[in-house]
Amino acid sequence: MKELLLGNEAITRGVLEAGVDVVTAYPGTPSSEIPMSISKIAQKYGIYFQWSTNEKVAYEVAFAGALSGLRSMVTMKHVGLNVAADAFMASATVGVDTGLVLVSADDPSMHSSQNEQDSRYYARLANIPCIEPCSPQEAKDFTIRAYEISEKFRLPVMLRTTTRVNHTRGDVELGDIPQRERSSSFTKNVKRYVTVPSNARVLRKELLEKMDTIHIELDTVEGKGSLGIIASGIAYNYVKESVSLLDLDAEIYKLAVTHPLSNRIIDFLTAHDEIIVVEELEPIVEIEIRAIAQKERIPVTITGKDIIPRAYELNTTRIVTAFSHVKGFSQPPVMEFPIPVRPPVLCPGCPHRATFYAMRKAAPRGIYPSDIGCYTLGVVPPISAVDTCFCMGASIGISCGLSEFVQEKILCSIGDSTFMHTGLPALVNAVYNQHKFVIVILDNQTTAMTGHQPHPGTGITGMGKVVPKVYPEKIAEAMGIHTDVVDPLDVEKTILVLKEAVEADELRMVIARHPCIFVEGHVRGEPYHVTEDCTGCQLCVNRLGCPAIEVRDEKAFITELCTGCGVCAKICPAQAITR
């Protein structure tokens, strides 16, 4: 039977067909649909699922599952692997007996990320196998194969995806879901599990020897021609379409295993005078191909990133352009379809808009470090209350430094989920080193940007269990930090509290707590409208940037997008906005 599945849903199906016991994650686009779908079916299929506080913890919990005899998976986006890297590298050194699969979802073109790093570098660094699906069908099939590979070679396996694989829909042939009894146990083995230098030196040598023996049969070859093309992941689809459009005589080597490369590559190189390597992002495969050709003394011309763009995701047009350049063809005409620009903005009724307004009123000449989340959109004028955004948790760490090095007042903003993710160590640092600035927790009681997943502050686990909430104010108070909790929709009080915090000349925390308008159970207020008293000052438009407020006939006009938050009414100098 076939079903139309998203690439991420296909991976979930692979989890079921592979008999996986443990799945852990921290949400991050483009990987989020995998754990979100698992969370809905975990109890039915006896899977232990966990939304972890960050990717490092998620990896450690999944690693513990594998060490306990349970097939385990951990999912994250590419930058999440930076956070998990310490545990990830240790697991490669130690190895596993039961399957452990890491799904690292890369985001070429940075649709929702701060960089477009290539996770395959991590697979090479750790010396573990890396496999890349090119379609939803392969996403499911390769998930199953990944566990077989992991258990055969006793190593974690990286399933590297990219946005277009994660978010593409396709027909997927479904297999059977096995019925089995789950049992777990941990066998002590200090020589392997305690990585003191004397043990680590032995494990390091064993890892290198293990990698030398790995041979995985997943690659395929198709077509005929003097031109050889090596492609991996989603790039294979673009190559296949481009070869058809240009009517090229080419043999295509579809690289499913991008680390370690199969010895079959040598025969493919030998059979062709010219090779083009097509891969998204970094020239990782290309560099290895060039090294193999040199080592084996194969007289072949290799082309790659000198014609294939290194930045941003690939598509058929970009590949056709590159192939036309190499073969001396005239490039086929490209149809242009201009699309109206629609920049992302904070939603109508978003409580963060009110908080940012209050921050700018409290410290108009301040510096506003911020973090990763919906609230990063506070950088967009007219809100303009985000001056830095680098990585998860950086707002507090950057503020620690700025508070020592500049004279301006520092008000940093960080979301409730991000605070739990990596804000806590920086908070401890701020207390320990006696830094003086204001931390504003934007607490909308959800992980909004990635799809409203729960976190420790929500009191709900990934399995739907109700647990005690972790309150940031209690954490701060335990560290001796003066903390205030405000409702940001009470604009006047929020401004007063923030002004007091700024003027205190000490480390302060202000928690702006109001649920996201999309949180289940949130009741929208009665919409507002503009009366004839409007003077046309446009303060509401020029300070809030709310999508529900427009200018018509030189006066403010509130559209049906209004959610009834009332912030515009509270800042209107003419009191011309009412229900």
- Let me know whether 62 and 136 are in one domain: yes
pLDDT of amino acid 179: 85
- Let me know whether 163 and 16 are in one domain: yes
Residue 336 lies in a domain: no
Per the structure, how many domains does the chain have? 4
Tell me how far the alpha carbon of residue 440 is from its chain's centroid: 23
Residue 338 lies in a domain: no
Residues near 197 by beta carbon (within 8 Å), at least 6 away in sequence: none
Burial class (CB in 10 A: 0-12, 13-18, 19+), 520: exposed
What is the C-alpha separation between 267 and 252, in angstroms, rounded? Answer: 13
Burial class (CB in 10 A: 0-12, 13-18, 19+), 6: buried
Domain boundary (183, 213, 243) is at 213
What is the C-alpha separation between 437 and 100, in angstroms, rounded? Answer: 43
Residue 382 preceded by cis peptide, ω within 30: yes
Residue 143 lies in a domain: yes
- Let me know whether 74 and 141 are in one domain: yes
What is the C-alpha separation between 377 and 347, in angstroms, rounded? Answer: 10
Residue 521 lies in a domain: no
- Let me know whether 205 and 319 are in one domain: no
Residue 470: give its domain's CATH number: 3.40.50.970
Residue 53 lies in a domain: yes
pLDDT of amino acid 524: 81
Percent of the chain with pLDDT over 70: 100
pLDDT band, very low/low/confident/very high, at 387 (cuts 50, 70, 90): very high
Task: Assess whether pLDDT exceeds 80 at residue 218.
Answer: yes
What pLDDT, in 10s, does the model give residues 157-180?
999 999 999 999 999 999 999 987
What pLDDT, in 10s, does the model give residues 20-36?
999 999 999 999 999 99
Task: Assess whether pLDDT exceeds 80 at residue 5.
Answer: yes
Higher pLDDT, 181 or 37: 37
What is the C-alpha separation between 233 and 356, in angstroms, rounded? Answer: 42
Single out the residue of 514, 533, 520 nearest to residue 572, CA to CA. Answer: 533
pLDDT of amino acid 67: 98
What pLDDT, in 10s, does the model give residues 70-82?
999 999 999 999 9
Domain boundary (162, 179, 213) is at 213
pLDDT of amino acid 230: 98
What is the C-alpha separation between 10 and 159, in angstroms, rounded? Answer: 13
- The SS3 call for residue 414 is strand
Pairing mode of beta strands 169-173, 48-51: unpaired
- Let me know whether 185 and 225 are in one domain: no
- Let me know whether 489 and 374 are in one domain: yes
Task: Assess whether pLDDT exceeds 90 at residue 117.
Answer: yes
pLDDT band, very low/low/confident/very high, at 337 (cuts 50, 70, 90): confident
- The SS3 call for residue 157 is strand
Residues near 334 by beta carbon (within 8 Å), at least 6 away in sequence: 317
Per the CB < 8 A criterion, the answer to whether 301 and 293 are in contact is no
Provide the domain limits for residue 48: 2-213
What is the C-alpha separation between 405 and 417, in angstroms, rounded? Answer: 28
What is the C-alpha separation between 461 and 455, in angstroms, rounded? Answer: 7
Task: Assess whether pLDDT exceeds 90 at residue 525.
Answer: no
Task: Assess whether pLDDT exceeds 80 at residue 289.
Answer: yes
Average pLDDT score, the chain: 95
Residue 283 lies in a domain: yes
Domain boundary (277, 311, 327) is at 327
Crossing angle of helices 424-432 and 394-405, rounded to 10°: 20
pLDDT of amino acid 196: 96
What is the C-alpha separation between 530 and 540, in angstroms, rounded? Answer: 11
Burial class (CB in 10 A: 0-12, 13-18, 19+), 179: exposed
Q: Mean pLDDT, to the nearest integer, of 95-117?
A: 96
pLDDT of amino acid 520: 75
Half-sphere exposure of 58 (CA within 13 A, CB side): 32
Task: Assess whether pLDDT exceeds 90 at residue 355.
Answer: yes
pLDDT band, very low/low/confident/very high, at 415 (cuts 50, 70, 90): very high
pLDDT-wise least confident of 12-21, 176-185, 324-333, 525-534:
324-333
- Let me know whether 37 and 114 are in one domain: yes
What pLDDT, in 10s, does the model give residues 28-57?
999 999 999 999 999 999 999 999 999 999
- Let me know whether 200 and 235 are in one domain: no
- Let me know whether 408 and 315 are in one domain: no
Higher pLDDT, 522 or 436: 436
- Let me know whether 141 and 240 are in one domain: no
Q: What is the pTM of this model?
A: 0.94
What pLDDT, in 10s, does the model give residues 480-504?
999 999 999 999 999 999 999 999 9
Burial class (CB in 10 A: 0-12, 13-18, 19+), 316: middle
pLDDT band, very low/low/confident/very high, at 342 (cuts 50, 70, 90): confident
What is the C-alpha separation between 152 and 192, in angstroms, rounded? Answer: 18
Task: Assess whether pLDDT exceeds 90 at residue 333.
Answer: no
pLDDT band, very low/low/confident/very high, at 326 (cuts 50, 70, 90): confident
Q: Mean pLDDT, to the nearest integer, of 266-279?
A: 96
- Let me know whether 498 and 372 are in one domain: yes
Distances from the Cα of 76 to the Cαs of 10, 56, 94, 258, in angstroms?
A: 16, 10, 21, 19
Residue 519 lies in a domain: no
* Bridge partner residues of 49 (DSSP): 23
- Let me know whether 258 and 109 are in one domain: no
What is the C-alpha separation between 392 and 424, in angstroms, rounded? Answer: 11
Residue 545: give its domain's CATH number: 3.30.70.20
Residue 120 lies in a domain: yes
pLDDT of amino acid 522: 76
